[in-house]
Structure 1
Amino acid sequence: MRGNIAIDGPAGAGKSTVARLLAARLGYLYIDTGAMYRALTWKALRQGIKLHDNERLVKLAQETAIRLEDRGARGIAVYCDGEEVTAAIRQTNVSRHVSLVASVPEVRQRLVKLQREMATSNRVVMDGRDIGTWVLPGAPYKFFLTASLEERARRRHRELLDAGQPVELKKIKEEIRRRDALDSGREVAPLKPAPDAIIINTDQMTATEVVARLLTLIDP
């Protein structure tokens, strides 16, 4: 049996890298839902919108065109109103504020609708924080990747350094801790494993090893 694959987990658990590699191995479409919230956050920050102005954020979500272009093993390109923002949405300032934008119920409703439309092919690997519980609750394969706060902070630190964004490890750790609290505590679609999700701790695993593990759990 094959079907949509939902991969959830907190920031830095490796879900985006794993989802991208898994989709490439299976020939599935990869959908990074976090990139959609990041794109909207990037636009809000660029326009100087106050991120506690829920009404303005909802209007922004309704009028913004977000497109994901699948590039296979190279991941996805993200476009916001026709402008490529793949690198821009990974900046620290966006990471720091994306949970605020994602916590607005009407914003989530708008983007979840788009995400479900993307998944109609029934051949997608979708990663995020509420895929198995909210976006695709009927997906036959649900995984929740997790890792210790320390390991997730180290991974994000290396990622930012490689991207030319020097940030103190301590600061990254605190930002991830804060984001965990916001994502897990929001009223709508909080971060948590689906009841039928398989939980995998990736502390001692490379992305390739995690992918290999998932492939053993997916019917050929």
Structure 2
Amino acid sequence: MNTIPVIAIDGPTASGKGSVAHRVAQTLGGWSVLDSGALYRLTALAALRRGIAADDAWALARTAGSLDVHFHNECIFLEGEDATDAIRQEEVGNMASRIAGYPDLRQALLERQRAFRVAPGLVADGRDMGTIVFPDAPLKVFLVAAPEARAQRRHKQLIDKGISANIDDLLQDLRARDARDMQRAVAPLKPAEDARVLDSSFLTLEQTVQAVLKMWKEISAA
């Protein structure tokens, strides 16, 4: 059994998982962070650039298995190029959501994700961190927020980066992605049986981080 602790943070698109994961890891000191969604987005970005169709499951799995990826702080590099902003484009996010259910692609990324589990600990965010990738994680958080709140956050995120966005279109896309993620046959979006559900609709980032740290403190003291 792997004794390196993992805090798994799962939840729907734009629920704030990534920001919370980074802040929790920083507070705990020296913990690694896995943004699993970035791996699917990077696969989608690489596929779009190479002209690979969204229904070519074999080519997508091969692309996922050979991704030249490097994470540094909160920056993500694909083939040596900073792709941090590129993978947040709506076109990339929509394709990532469409291809994320392919079994061969998920298998290609599974061991790559588990390799992030290094001492002193890992904070992993995604859709199936607590159910599939790290089922033995001592703390599993399922982070939720109302679609309207998530659309507002995503809108602000894009506008702050100078990317034009329509909030009604964002809300529609979020609901469509939620439906795809929850209804897919492989690793559907759902809380693990022992997950703690945390609704951040009316919480600030700092309040959400503190709530997760409180849960971890309780588990560590038990």
Give TM-score scaled by structure 1 length.
0.93
The alignment's C-alpha RMSD in Å is: 1.5
Please report how far the alpha carbon of residue 62 of structure 1 lies from its aligned counterpart in structure 2 after TM superposition: 2.3
Count of residues paired in the alignment: 215
- What is the DSSP-based 3-state SS (H/G/I as helix, E as strand, rest coil) of the residue aligned with 1:45? helix
Partner of residue 172 from structure 1, selected from 165, 170, 173: 170
Gaps of 5+ in 1: none
Please report how far the alpha carbon of residue 166 of structure 1 lies from its aligned counterpart in structure 2 after TM superposition: 1.1
| Bigger mean CA deviation after superposition, 151-160 or 54-63 | 54-63
Name the residue aligned to 2:25. Answer: 23
- What is the DSSP-based 3-state SS (H/G/I as helix, E as strand, rest coil) of the residue aligned with 2:116? helix
Name the residue aligned to 1:104. Answer: 102
Please report how far the alpha carbon of residue 112 of structure 1 lies from its aligned counterpart in structure 2 after TM superposition: 1.4
Note if contact 2:4-2:119 (Cα within 8 Å) is conserved in structure 1.
no
CA distance in 2 between counterparts of 1:35 and 1:63 reads: 15
Read off the aligned partner of 2:55 and give its amino acid letter.
H
Note if contact 1:8-1:144 (Cα within 8 Å) is conserved in structure 2.
yes
Read off the aligned partner of 2:64 and give its amino acid letter.
A
Following superposition of structure 1 onto structure 2, how do residues 59-70 of structure 1 map, counting pairs within 5 Å?
59-69=62-72
CA distance in 1 between counterparts of 2:197 and 2:216 reads: 14
Partner of residue 50 from structure 2, selected from 33, 40, 47: 47
Read off the aligned partner of 2:83 and give its amino acid letter.
V
Note if contact 1:64-1:80 (Cα within 8 Å) is conserved in structure 2.
yes
Following superposition of structure 1 onto structure 2, how do residues 1-220 of structure 1 map, counting pairs within 5 Å?
3-27=5-29, 28-69=31-72, 71=73, 76-121=74-119, 123-219=121-217
1:106-163 deviations in Å (ceiling 9; x for gaps): 1111111101111143600000000000000000010000011111111111111111
CA distance in 1 between counterparts of 2:65 and 2:139 reads: 30
Read off the aligned partner of 1:29 and give its amino acid letter.
S
CA distance in 2 between counterparts of 1:67 and 1:101 reads: 22
| Bigger mean CA deviation after superposition, 168-177 or 52-61 | 52-61
- Give the ranges of 4+ consecutive aligned residues of structure 1 lying more than 6 Å apart after TM superposition: none
Note if contact 2:15-2:143 (Cα within 8 Å) is conserved in structure 1.
yes
Note if contact 1:68-1:78 (Cα within 8 Å) is conserved in structure 2.
yes
